[in-house]
Amino acid sequence: MARRVAITGLGTISALGCGVPALLDAMATGRCGIGPISSIPTDRLSVPIAAEIRDFDPAAHFDRRQRLMLDRAAQLALIATREALAAIDLAAIDPTRCAVVLAASFGHATLDASYHALYADHARRLPPMTVPRAMPSAAASHVAMEWGLHGPCFSVASACASSAHAIGLAAQMIRAGQVDLAICGGSDASICLGYLKAWEALRVLSGDACRPFSRDRSGLVIGEAAGILVLEAEDRAMARGATLHGALLGFGMGADAGDLTAPSAAGAARAIGAALADAGLAPSAVDYVNAHGTATRLNDSTETAALHAVFGGHARRLAVSSSKSMHGHCLNAAGGLEAVVTALALREGLLPPTLGFRAADPECDLDCVPNAARRQPIGIALSNSFAFGGLNAVLALGRAE
């Protein structure tokens, strides 16, 4: 029988603050992290809002030499991992049986600065750490190095589902007995001019707020974040007296194989169904879904159709909220941050709200926990990630037993 996978560590940094307590506070009070961009000049941006990590001083976390090596994406991953591992005695675990599986996230700021220096300033040379800072596997390497972990370590690329795929793969490695502990999730430092201009070109960004499932929803808001889970074989975690935050029960994934950007209800439904089947759960067992919920017109109606297809009449009893309305769409980090949110929703019996909801949309006929958090004990929850390219990943989470 497959081993159960326990969640023994949670870590995060986002526009909602540094650390799980700040995230929980935002979930409970419905605090929104979206606002005017302050970390870069906005004069060339048509959409100058984002869910930005404010008051972030890298020097408070990393010395000068470390900062030379670390793009912001890797910095965020390390900060969240430090929190997730704070209560875990790694000395008790064989380091060759500890995995690191993170979302593949470019060092956008490093690349942006290098191209600006080269093309705009006509610099004759670029900083020597440009390549190792920018490489999408850098964050995973830095995590392995900081804790001396020698097990499998790699990064997963599936656009906005990257973190969810990373968590799902890590859980499978634990189930298979390949490793005893896995640090998984991801980070993305997306607030830089080149990347934001590229997103503007897609014409999917909202100019004012993220309003998932609302009839007047106007698009997504980019965020930056890291969300990290520590997964362990539950029997081993219990044997060493670990704190259990919850359990990773199932993982479903698949491809639309249709359109590069337009989502597919059938593809999303297949991934949701696969996660339930993997967890051995009936649809009626699910209490809450942390939706992909980007607040684009097409995503939210398509996701609603997928939920109706899988859950039938139970879809009307489900609570389905999009925490992106608070922390923005954190892209490669989204699945990691939202898995942390979902684990906290289960642990605390606290459903995060969908902020910015103003009017019901018949195409999004779900209970989206509008505008105010809800205290409600729940047993099973899903976290949906549906990425560009039609890459879908769904995680099924439960409470610690």
Partner 1 sequence: MSAVFPADPRIGEILDIVAQETEVARAALLPDATLDGLGIPSLDLTHALFAIETHFDVEIPVVADQQGAEFITVGALVAHILATLDRAAAASPAFPPDLPAQTPPT
User: Any contact of residue 131 with partner 1 (CB under 8 A)?
Assistant: no
Q: Which residues are known to be catalytic?
A: 160, 292, 329
CB burial of 345-358 (b: ≥16 within 10 Å; e: otherwise) equals: bbbeebbbbbbbbe
In this structure, are residues 290 and 344 in contact, taking their beta carbons and an 8 Å threshold? no
Looking only at residues 344 through 363 of this chain, which bind partner 1 when binding is defined by CB under 8 A?
none
Min separation Cβ 61 and partner 1, Å: 17
User: Any contact of residue 126 with partner 1 (CB under 8 A)?
Assistant: yes
> CA–CA separation, 318 vs 369, rounded Å?
10
> CA–CA separation, 305 vs 159, rounded Å?
22
Instruction: Return the number of other C-beta atoms located less than 10 Å from residue 229's C-beta.
Output: 31
Which range of residues in 3-11, 119-127, 177-185, 376-384 is near partner 1 by CB under 8 A? 119-127
**Nearest one of 191, 371, 221 to 296, comparing CA atoms:** 221
Min separation Cβ 121 and partner 1, Å: 6
User: Any contact of residue 68 with partner 1 (CB under 8 A)?
Assistant: yes
Q: Which of 51, 103, 113, 306 binds partner 1 (CB under 8 A)?
A: 113
User: Any contact of residue 116 with partner 1 (CB under 8 A)?
Assistant: yes
DSSP letter (8 states) at residue 352 = P
Q: Which of 55, 60, 122, 313 binds partner 1 (CB under 8 A)?
A: 122
Site size toward partner 1 (CB under 8 A) is 16
Which range of residues in 83-91, 108-116, 340-348, 392-400 is near partner 1 by CB under 8 A? 108-116
User: Any contact of residue 57 with partner 1 (CB under 8 A)?
Assistant: no
User: Any contact of residue 121 with partner 1 (CB under 8 A)?
Assistant: yes
In this structure, are residues 392 and 254 in contact, taking their beta carbons and an 8 Å threshold? yes
Min separation Cβ 123 and partner 1, Å: 4
Min separation Cβ 64 and partner 1, Å: 8
Residue 134 makes CB contacts below 8 A (sequence gap 6+) with 71, 106, 107, 110, 111, 114
Residues in the chain: 401
Which range of residues in 44-52, 124-132, 138-146, 271-279 is near partner 1 by CB under 8 A? 124-132
Q: Which is nearer to partner 1, 195 or 251 (CB)?
A: 195
Q: Which is nearer to partner 1, 49 or 189 (CB)?
A: 189
Q: Which of 125, 203, 260, 375 binds partner 1 (CB under 8 A)?
A: 125
Inter-CA distances, 400 with 63, 86, 260, Å: 37, 19, 38
User: Any contact of residue 123 with partner 1 (CB under 8 A)?
Assistant: yes
Which range of residues in 113-121, 151-159, 178-186, 290-298 is near partner 1 by CB under 8 A? 113-121
For 359, the token pair is 């009017």
Looking only at residues 261 through 280 of this chain, which bind partner 1 when binding is defined by CB under 8 A?
none
Q: Which of 14, 81, 114, 141 binds partner 1 (CB under 8 A)?
A: 114
User: Any contact of residue 128 with partner 1 (CB under 8 A)?
Assistant: yes
Which range of residues in 115-123, 298-306, 311-319, 343-351 is near partner 1 by CB under 8 A? 115-123
Q: Which of 25, 89, 94, 127 binds partner 1 (CB under 8 A)?
A: 127
Q: Which is nearer to partner 1, 123 or 372 (CB)?
A: 123
In this structure, are residues 105 and 187 in contact, taking their beta carbons and an 8 Å threshold? yes
**Nearest one of 262, 326, 314 to 288, comparing CA atoms:** 314
Strands 49-51 and 34-36: antiparallel
User: Any contact of residue 117 with partner 1 (CB under 8 A)?
Assistant: yes
**Residue 9 phi, psi (nearest 5):** -155, 145
* Neighbouring C-alpha atoms within 13 Å toward the C-beta of 198: 8
Residue 47 makes CB contacts below 8 A (sequence gap 6+) with 196, 200, 205, 206, 207
Q: If DSSP codes are grouped into helix, strand and coil, which group holds residue 26?
A: helix
Min separation Cβ 117 and partner 1, Å: 3
Residues that bind partner 1 (CB under 8 A): 65, 68, 113-114, 116-118, 121-129
